[in-house]
Structure 1
Amino acid sequence: TDPEKVLTELQKKLDSNITSVGKLLQPGDNEGERETELEHAAMCSEALMEEYLETGELSAENISDTVAERKLFPCFFGSALKQWGITELLDGLNAYLPKPEYPEEFGARVYKIGRDNAGIRLSYLKVTGGSLRVKMPVGNSRSGAGEEIWEEKCDQLRLYNGGSYEAVDTVKAGEVCAVTGLTKTFAGQGLGYESENSTPILEPVLTYRLLLPPEVDPVVALGKLRQLEEEEPQLHVLWQEENREIHMQVMGQVQMEILKNILWERFGLEVEFDAGSIVYKETLAEPVEGIGHFEPLRHYAEVHLLLEPGERGSGLQFASLCSEDMLDRNWQRLILTHLEEKRHVGVLTGSELTDLRILLIAGKPTP
């Protein structure tokens, strides 16, 4: 591959300030190439140009500031297979990327759910503030608005290197680790001071019925698929109780082939998919109020819900406008939690509802 040709194409198609900087940290080596890189980098901002004209050099600090301002986009060339250019890339990341500043208060972002060879559930997360310690309680008190608020202890902190890991007592801000003992986490969830949950940008648009062998109990298979669902946020598993059928919303043929291989390798399930259909969703055109009974543990509350159309792409949003004098906070939280857990379907095609605000506006508990 011709680096100059590739760089010219990147500048033409993406941004003219994409600049090769692999030689900037190596004074005295390939001075001709380094001087060319200095000139190109200096043209990306007035601050860099002034420094270059005054000193003939560019400081890593000024380059880092220019990168943060999105005025310079560093480009490195190399090959991991041939062990070429790796050192320059790592040195450049260390020198030119802005150093993150982490708060002292604990925070973390879950980015993956997995399981080890023994089937132990692992929450892969990045610590974004403070530090995480073994047996330290963590929870979703900040990010769990409208959800069940929980707190659990971290049994083990693992630093993975390939398939092996090292168990440590503390993980500091900026580091990633796998945590055992957390049973309610999900990919994108914020813990500690993190106040928002991240949701997948892409949503599956096709639904397929899962075809199981006759001897396999669909309920048993459903439990195994639920494990995969929490490990892969873009996989949606739907259970149709009336027909005892499992339907799956996936991205397409490639994901289906991967799923078939995973189900066979991990659970010994040999499955197929039917022809599939497009995923349709329903919403409301006008607000409507509904009244019903919420009946957990042989107690019930009369519940008044207001359903309002939401903005396109907003999904389902849940909130309470009910006074605590009318309905206790614990009741309200329990009702909202169960509303979020349920899959709500429309009356036109039986498709899943979306882009709605479901508001708890009134209620009356049993005496």
Structure 2
Amino acid sequence: MAARSARSKSTRLLYSLCTASISPAPRTSTAALLTGNFNIRYFSAGSAAAARLREEKDTWWKDSLQKLRNIGISAHIDSGKTTLTERVLFYTGRIHEIHEVRGKDGVGAKMDSMDLEREKGITIQSAATYCTWKDYQVNIIDTPGHVDFTIEVERALRVLDGAILVLCSVGGVQSQSITVDRQMRRYEVPRLAFINKLDRMGADPWKVLNQARTKLRHHSAAVQMPIGLEEDFKGLIDLVNMKACYFHGSSGETIVSEDIPADLEALALEKRRELVEAVSEVDDKLAEAFLSDEPILAADLDEAIRRATISRKFVPVFMGSAFKNKGVQPLLDGVLSYLPCPTEVTNQALDQSKDEEKVELSGSPAGPLVALAFKLEEGRFGQLTYLRIYEGVIKKGDFIVNVNTGKKVKVPRLVRMHSNEMEDIQQAHAGQIVAVFGVDCASGDTFTDGSVRYTMTSMSVPEPVMSLAISAVSKDSGGNFSKALNRFQREDPTFRVGLDPESSQTIISGMGELHLDIYVERMKREYKVEATVGKPRVNFRETITQRAEFDYLHKKQSGGQGQYGRVTGFMEPLPPGSGTKFEFDNMLVGQAIPSNFVPAIEKGFKEAANSGSLIGHPVENIRIALTDGAAHTVDSSELAFKLAAIYAFRQCYELCKPVILEPVMLVELKFPSEFQGTVTGDINKRKGMIVGNDQEADDCVITAHVPLNNMFGYSTALRSMTQGKGEFTMEYLEHMQVSQDVQTQLVNAYKATRTGE
């Protein structure tokens, strides 16, 4: 309050200075001064008052942004992300009652707003909210843990400034923890780690900390240590301030700070020294004090941890149990202390008017508007588009420009999200995450105020690995069936819809069985469309293994203008790891083929590569070079050359020794050691390759690479093999060549369907 009154006092003073020194000039409101909605032309260029006013405005925005945090909470399945978010909302006063994830009380966690999420006890869609903690505004995105919904994590991390990586104190660093950490590295997101579930049997935070160092390659150290574990977990010791914290009250809302228990003092000093050493390795200022054997003050250590975390050289590790209401408030303090505000993060845009030259964004509301649409949802009032504002200010009623399409649109409604609830706002500035209604766009589009043509870099979207044939049971529901598929496709870039040219069936593709099951179920609930689905189909690919040459003449004469086109060149496989699926190289010398026909030739080859002759799946990792050809002055046309390219591809493809590629999954299994023989035998039977085998207490943890085609129904098989005690997670690894016998089976099956046997 004192800061606010000082600010308004200085603004009034500036206002009086300005109006006294310039006459006549229109009156300028205090609100306009604060938001910057005033016209600076009334001030003379050398006016000291104008300069002071600009400085005051900049300081005000800076203060506002310094008290803002944009964070995400990510983790492996069942690590307690949503439970943690629920506690954060409770302690910050956003909700007044705590509800559990599975919704046994009929309510469920606030951030799991879909009925399906509450029933299954999993997060399906990332949900955004905001809260206030110690005068700081914290925007939070709670993300799913299941690998099938990995795009939700991907697009959340793309727009966040910091993140909390939640690790289970029993399960430790699991497969999805590694994936999420990789995504955080990709978008250069500073993070804190939170070791959750210290109240559970078998909890061992120090084992998890070591796993984070070895498996995730984190340079990390604990900033807290527990007082007791499992049933005896009572509280935490803050290693920065060397104080013990206990959480009292029905929901752990009262924090009592005491001296460290005598029996834990020696261990606490040892762990604090470990923390100081770890931070000193990456922070020169602290290293100087540490090497000089000076006493390390709490404030100095705090600042050093902040510097090292923001520069992504260090990951501070917090501890607690969200379910037992212990350790959440100190974690919130850690978010304010160690994670960056929007101005401390470097964001770059691509200037489309200067050949995609990189431009560093200031992150200031004073600049031109630059906002990224990172998530779409179908709301009750039309499309709801989530925006992260990187620069400038957006206001209700403003006209904004979609740089990707060039369209100018009006912002009819601007809201802040609290899970599935929304609060109308008049304007939002750089650093904030908001949503707009009624703005038609695609996920990943960039909006500006029209003064610049900047686009933000896109997100990494993984390729779908599984497909299902789907059709509506009732013919009357065809309209809703199409509506649902179109909406889901717009919302989720990993969900694809296509038409099988052979059977004319609608094919949906996604990241796994659960991913597609959820969309079929949502279609039934949200659009009242009962759908029948076929057997899951794996997204195989085809490729070639050797180079071959083609020389094809397409000649057709049937009275009138004929068709004439000759193409000569070669086809070869691209080197492994090139990352390019199809490459066309025009190596023509001279005018053997007029240049206006070359795009039609490329189009023909691309079209032919969409369906290989082995099993009809797309052909990848292929390079086609056009070296020569011939044209006819009358009979040559774009169609003739396109057809020549298609037939040349088919003729040459067989000579290139094509092979089939199948998606191989990285599977992590955890089960009691007594079932090791049975489970490993079954993995071998499924043509899996075991690449890791660890022992954790009485459990065996196996990592294997298994073809997706052999993993259908595995959850049921694993349960029956382990008496219901086994669990597994699976994520896409890469496409690999199938064995010769599998290739023969697949080719024969494809031929049988083609001939209708």
Normalised TM-score (structure 1): 0.71
Q: CA deviation at 1:235?
A: 0.4
Tell me which of 430, 437, 449 is aligned to 1:180.
437
Letter in 1 for 2:509: Q
Rounded Cα–Cα distance in structure 2 between residues aligned with 1:212 and 1:229:
17
| Structure 2 unaligned blocks of 5 or more | 1-202, 225-237, 245-258, 344-362, 449-453, 551-570, 585-598, 624-637, 639-757
Deviation at 1:162? 2.8
What is the CA–CA distance in structure 2 between the aligned matches of 1:178 and 1:316, rounded to whole Å? 37
The structure-2 alpha-carbon separation of the partners of 1:254 and 1:343, relative to structure 1 and needing over 3 Å to count, comes to farther
- CA shift for structure 1 position 13: 3.6
Partner of 1:291: none
Q: Distance in 1 between matches of 2:608 and 2:484?
A: 23
> 2:252 aligned with 1:252, yes or no?
no
CA contact (8 A) 1:218 1:245 kept: no
1:169-197 per-position Cα deviation (integer Å, ceiling 9, x unaligned): 111222211111211232x3333333432
Higher Cα radius of gyration: 2
- When residues 314 and 98 of structure 1 are mapped into structure 2, their CA distance, relative to the original with a 3 A threshold, is farther
The aligned counterpart of 1:189 is 445
Please state if 1:106 is matched with 2:365. Answer: no
Q: Greater relative contact order (Cα 8 A, min sep 6): structure 1 or 2?
A: 1
Percent identical among aligned pairs is 23
Could you tell which deviates more after superposition, 241-250 or 202-211?
241-250
- Are the equivalent residues in 1 in contact too, given 2:480–2:529 (CA < 8 A)? no
Tell me if 1:82 matches 2:345: no
1:115 maps to 378
User: SS at the partner of 2:294?
Assistant: helix
- Name which of 55, 58, 65 aligns with 2:295: 55
- 1:263 counterpart SS class: helix
Distance 1:231 1:119 in 2: 16
Shift of 1:347: 5.3
**SS at structure 2 position matched to 1:264:** helix
After TM superposition, list the pairs within 5 Å mapping 1:274-353 onto structure 2.
274-281=534-541, 312-314=578-580, 346=610, 348-349=612-613, 351-352=617-618
Cα 1:119–1:16 change in 2 (3 A) is: closer
Of the three residues 14, 21, 41, the one matched with 2:275 is 41
Does structure 1 conserve the Cα–Cα contact (< 8 Å) formed by 2:612 and 2:619? no
Mapping of residues 11-50 of structure 1, within 5 Å: 11-15=213-217, 17-22=219-224, 23-24=238-239, 26=241, 28-29=243-244, 30=259, 32=265, 35-44=269-278, 45-46=280-281, 47=284, 48-50=286-288
The equivalences for 1:152-167 within 5 A come to 152-167=409-424
Give the aligned partner of residue 691 of structure 2: none
Per the TM alignment, residue 217 of structure 1 is displaced from its structure 2 partner at its CA by: 5.3
For normalisation by structure 2, the TM-score amounts to: 0.37
Which residue in 2 is equivalent to 1:303?
none
Q: Which residue of 2 aligns with 1:234?
A: 494
Change (3 A) 1:132 1:20: same
Deviation at 1:264?
0.9
Pairs aligned (count): 312
Deviation at residue 214 of structure 1 after TM alignment: 4.1
Aligned-partner Cα distance in 1 for 2:469–2:493:
19
Q: How much is the aligned-residue C-alpha RMSD, in angstroms?
A: 3.7
SS of equivalent residue, structure 1 residue 59? helix
1:198 correspondence with 2:198: no
Query: Offset of 1:99 from its aligned partner?
Result: 3.2
On the 8 A contact 2:413/2:437 being kept in 1, the answer is yes
- C-alpha distance in 2, partners of 1:138/1:343? 37
Q: 1:223-250: CA deviations, max 9, x gaps?
A: 3211011111110011357855311112
Q: Provide closer, same or farther for how the CA distance between residues 184 and 9 of structure 1 changes in structure 2, counting only shifts above 3 A.
A: closer
Q: Is the 8 Å Cα contact of residues 140 and 151 (structure 1) preserved in structure 2? A: yes
Aligned residue in 1 for 2:469: 209
Counterpart in 2 of 1:125? 387
